[in-house]
Amino acid sequence: MPHRTSEDQVQAWLACLAASLAARNIPDTLSLFQPDSHWRDLLSFTWSIVTLDGREEIATMLTARLFDTPPAGIALEPGTCRAADGVVEAWFGFETAQLRGRGHVRLKDGLCWTLFTAAVEIKGHEECAGARRPRGVAPGVQRGRPSWAEQRRDSVAALGATQQPDCLIIGGGQGGLALAARLNRLQVPTLVVDALPRPGDAWRRRYRSLCLHDPIWANHLPYMPFPDHWPVYISKDRMGDWLEAYADIMELHVWSSTRALKAAFDPASRRWNVEVEREGRLVTLHPRQLVLATGMSGAPALPHFPGAESFHGAQCHSSAYDSGAAYAGRKCVVIGSNNSAHDICADLWEHGAEVTMVQRSSTLVARAETLFRVITSRLFSEAALAAGITTEQADFMAASRPFAMVAELQRALYRQIRAEDAEFYDRLTKAGFMLDFGEDDTGLSIKYLRRGSGYYIDVGASELIASGAVALRSGVQVTRLRPEGVELSDGAVLQADLIVHATGYEPMESWIAQLISPEVAAQVGHVWGLGSGTRLDPGPWVGELRNMWKPTGQDGLWLMGGNLQQVRFYSRILALQIQARALGLATPVHDPKGLG
């Protein structure tokens, strides 16, 4: 028998998949999958973001959806086949009646171990870009024709006044702006409102020393990559300016200084009534789709310590901290031990303050350099680019792995990180710092996906703690504030001129309850987290980030956010769902684990 190459294997498997799906033959389709396989689908079959675990869940989905969506044109992407460690993988293209998509398969022993299918565009309604770009000028000559500037001015004046937006996005940070840019190219009338005076202010108003913690290659926004002379770690003011420029260049409709006050869905008109205060004036908007892009947390979580009013110094939540300039030579206590707490300690120390961090429970720390070398650079780096992994391809590669598998992979990488940085961790522990690597040692990204907190990406503050330059009180609670400072559970009192509460944020659900209603918040349920059953991520296992970028329990309500990499990739997925509804396409959702 002639030797079968990896490519032959994938070709043969894809041909069987195509034939069994075209014949709507579910038993034959299932026979192509390993019993413990995973199928991650982004819209193409489920009109949601869903991971199906095992043959039974795959069978249920196919029974529900295959009749409408038999795919066609399944074709291997040339040159994408790889084989390693007994796994053969490759990328392929496909179409359904409505969508064009991209897929990825991993085969083990000739059967599918993981399948990934993602919608890329709606057929006949593709982005107005490249060959589809508008002409810009009408042919010939015409009296009184409006200039681009006049058209833009009129369109800005009309949206939200004489024309209702189809989609209203509350929050014009990176999430809101990236989604608006996608929707703009899909010609869905979209308005962004943000409480702050200028796009980018959410970054600008943070403490002055802040730089992004992820390297630049992971942080590009859709369509407009950062210039390639920009530094690896971007300062927050530069990021703020970039977002403002982005809103302008992508011709977005943004109402700044506009705070959303309340929202209610009217089932009769199938539109929202959203009350906003725009520069002091109340305006009610009536979009069909409402997106909350207000950051994945609710309001700052400020613990109410007894005696808080008696404290003689200054105190603030980390979100209101600006700079340590006024605290040279003065005593400062930072309560908390995650990202913001560390950065604020470092900023205060740089300004000559005498700083103490109070750590209540363990924190995951990973050095930015090591994270980059061991994990991020595989997909996002100059080396990855040189190896032909574009930003778009890196995003697809990251998405192709079901979250259940990511945890296993990360555990192995964290074993390597802990070995490489053993001396660093040893010094930190000797200084009294309580460390963890996630409940099951699966590391930072998994902790981020499960609970969005509980870690620090070390860009320098850990050294200050290890060396004692920043004092540390760990394993203690704050029992009360006194006029002179902070009283701890071991009876010690830390003298303070400034107390910073780096105590995190309320969950997103609380903000939904406040803006819309407690009933809708309950209907939507927990936001973020995979259902891992670990702390702050209650089970059952969902396998996808709850309620993120996909249909929620409330009609017409969507949640947008995440880090820049997620924002770049999932803004397309969310935009396609909103576009499909604007076009009036059928969008039957199959998400039994997500929607319950």
Ligand X SMILES: Cc1cc2nc3c(=O)[nH]c(=O)nc-3n(C[C@H](O)[C@H](O)[C@H](O)COP(=O)(O)OP(=O)(O)OC[C@H]3O[C@@H](n4cnc5c(N)ncnc54)[C@H](O)[C@@H]3O)c2cc1C
Using CB under 6 A, list all residues that contact ligand X: 170-176, 193-196, 202, 210, 212-214, 219, 259-260, 293-295, 339-340, 343, 561, 563-564
Q: Minimum CB separation from ligand X for residue 290, in Å?
A: 12
**Which residues, 6 or more positions from 349, have their beta carbon under 8 angstroms from its beta carbon?**
324, 355, 464, 469, 470
Helix, strand and coil in the chain, % to nearest 5: 35, 25, 40
Q: Minimum CB separation from ligand X for residue 328, in Å?
A: 22
Q: Minimum CB separation from ligand X for residue 18, in Å?
A: 38
Residue 581 to residue 585: CA distance in whole angstroms = 6
Residue 51 to residue 404: CA distance in whole angstroms = 9
CB-nearer residue toward ligand X: 37 or 174 = 174
CB-nearer residue toward ligand X: 227 or 267 = 227
Tell the residue number behind the tokens 């207000």, with chain if given.
294
Residue 537 to residue 40: CA distance in whole angstroms = 21
Q: Minimum CB separation from ligand X for residue 444, in Å?
A: 12
CB-nearer residue toward ligand X: 107 or 263 = 263
Q: Minimum CB separation from ligand X for residue 567, in Å?
A: 7
Residue 40 to residue 421: CA distance in whole angstroms = 34
CB-nearer residue toward ligand X: 175 or 438 = 175
Q: Minimum CB separation from ligand X for residue 461, in Å?
A: 10
CB-nearer residue toward ligand X: 57 or 347 = 347
CB-nearer residue toward ligand X: 98 or 571 = 571
Residue 582 to residue 369: CA distance in whole angstroms = 44
Q: Minimum CB separation from ligand X for residue 502, in Å?
A: 10
509: left (phi over 0), alpha (psi -120 to 50) or beta: alpha
Taking only Cα atoms into account, the Rg of the chain, rounded to an integer number of angstroms, comes to: 26
Structure tokens at 535: 């702390």
Are the C-beta atoms of residues 390 and 374 closer than 8 Å to each other? no
Q: Minimum CB separation from ligand X for residue 175, in Å?
A: 3
Q: Minimum CB separation from ligand X for residue 239, in Å?
A: 9
* Count of other CB atoms within 10 angstroms of residue 191: 25
Q: Minimum CB separation from ligand X for residue 321, in Å?
A: 11
Are the C-beta atoms of residues 220 and 234 closer than 8 Å to each other? no
CB-nearer residue toward ligand X: 112 or 296 = 296
Q: How many residues does the chain have?
A: 596
Residue 277 to residue 261: CA distance in whole angstroms = 7
Coil, strand, or helix at residue 298? strand
Q: Which residue is nearest to ligand X (CB)?
A: 173
Q: Minimum CB separation from ligand X for residue 57, in Å?
A: 30
Q: Minimum CB separation from ligand X for residue 275, in Å?
A: 11
CB-nearer residue toward ligand X: 193 or 247 = 193
Q: How far is CA 218 from the centre of its chain?
A: 12
CB-nearer residue toward ligand X: 207 or 265 = 207
Residue 517 to residue 291: CA distance in whole angstroms = 15
**Which residues, 6 or more positions from 26, have their beta carbon under 8 angstroms from its beta carbon?**
59, 62, 63, 66
Angle subtended at Cα 283 by Cα 278 and Cα 287, rounded to the nearest 5 degrees:
110
Q: What is the maximum alpha-carbon separation in the chain?
A: 86
Are the C-beta atoms of residues 435 and 344 closer than 8 Å to each other? no
CB-nearer residue toward ligand X: 198 or 480 = 198
Give the DSSP per-residue string, 456-500. Answer: EEESSHHHHHHTTSSEEEES--EEEEETTEEEETTS-EEE-SEEE
Half-sphere exposure of 57 (CA within 13 A, CB side): 20
CB-nearer residue toward ligand X: 208 or 411 = 208
Q: How far is CA 179 from the centre of its chain?
A: 12
Are the C-beta atoms of residues 449 and 545 closer than 8 Å to each other? yes
Q: Minimum CB separation from ligand X for residue 165, in Å?
A: 14
CB-nearer residue toward ligand X: 260 or 364 = 260
Residue 169 to residue 515: CA distance in whole angstroms = 13
CB-nearer residue toward ligand X: 58 or 515 = 515
